[in-house]
Amino acid sequence: MTTWAEVEADYHQFFLAAVDADPSATDGAGVIGTSPNVVVVRTGIATGPVSVALSYLEGEPSGHTEQWEDVSRAVVKVTLPLKVMTNFGDVSEDHEVVQPPTTGWLAVQISARGRSERPDAIVEESSEQYLIEVWPVDTPKGTRPEVSGAGGDRGDWYATDATARRRGPVVWNPDT
C-alpha cells in the first residue's frame, strides 16, 4: 500500500537521500536529479508542502504513467539508506527508509502532477503530487535521468544534456 504524506519543499526541491550525502552535484533535467545516494525531486512551487508517496517495488512499474503530467526515471548508485527529507535535512517520519539494494543500483521513477499550477509560488496548501517508485537493478545502465511529459518525451533510458558547449548540446548514450 502506498501512503501519501506532505513534505515541505524549499528552493523548488526535496530529496530522497542519505542523511550524509552531498546533493549539490546532481545531474539531470526535469523533475529528477541524481548523484550517488541522492535523488533530488524538483518542484514547481518555490516553497511549501507537496504530497509525496514512496513505494519500494520488486521490479519496474507499469501501466499508470498516463495519469501523470511528468514522469522521469534515473538509476542511482546507492550504498547508504535513503530517506525522504527537506532541503534543510528534516527527515520525513511518514515515509519508509529505502535500504541499499545488494546490487548497489536503484532505479527511480518519479511521477508528478500539478507542477505547472503554481510555478514559483510560496504556498500554504499542497497543490503538487509526487509518486516516487524505486526498485533494484543489476547494472548502472541509464544512470542519466530520462524525462517525459512536460520535461521532454523520450521512450528510452537516454537523456539530453542541454549544457551549452562550444559545438552545441551533447546527447549522451550510456550504451556506447
Q: Is the pLDDT of residue 160 over 50?
A: no
Which grid cell sits at 109?
521513477
Which grid cell sits at 147?
524525462
What does pTM read for this prediction?
Answer: 0.80
> Is the Cβ–Cβ distance between 143 and 161 less than 8 Å?
no
Which whole number is the average pLDDT over 95-118? Answer: 95
Give burial (CB, 10 Å; 0-12/13-18/19+) of 43: buried
pLDDT tens-digit profile of 31-80? Answer: 999 999 999 999 999 999 999 999 999 999 987 888 999 999 999 999 99
> Is the Cβ–Cβ distance between 69 and 112 less than 8 Å?
yes
Residue 142's pLDDT is what?
Answer: 55
Q: Is the pLDDT of residue 169 over 70?
A: no
Residue 89's pLDDT is what?
Answer: 92
Residue 93's pLDDT is what?
Answer: 95
The CA distances from residue 42 to 13, 32, 79, 107, 115, in Å, are 4, 6, 23, 17, 9
Give the chain's mean pLDDT.
84
Which whole number is the average pLDDT over 12-41? Answer: 91
Count of helices and strands (H, E) across the chain: 0, 12
Q: Of 9-13, 123-127, 164-168, where does mean pLDDT reach its minimum?
A: 164-168
40, 22, 18: which is closest to 31 by C-alpha?
40
- Domain ranges for the chain, please list them: 4-172
Q: Is the pLDDT of residue 88 over 80?
A: yes
Measured distance CA(13)–CA(41) in Å, rounded:
5
Which DSSP state fits 92?
P
Q: Is the pLDDT of residue 164 over 70?
A: no
> Is the Cβ–Cβ distance between 172 and 157 less than 8 Å?
no
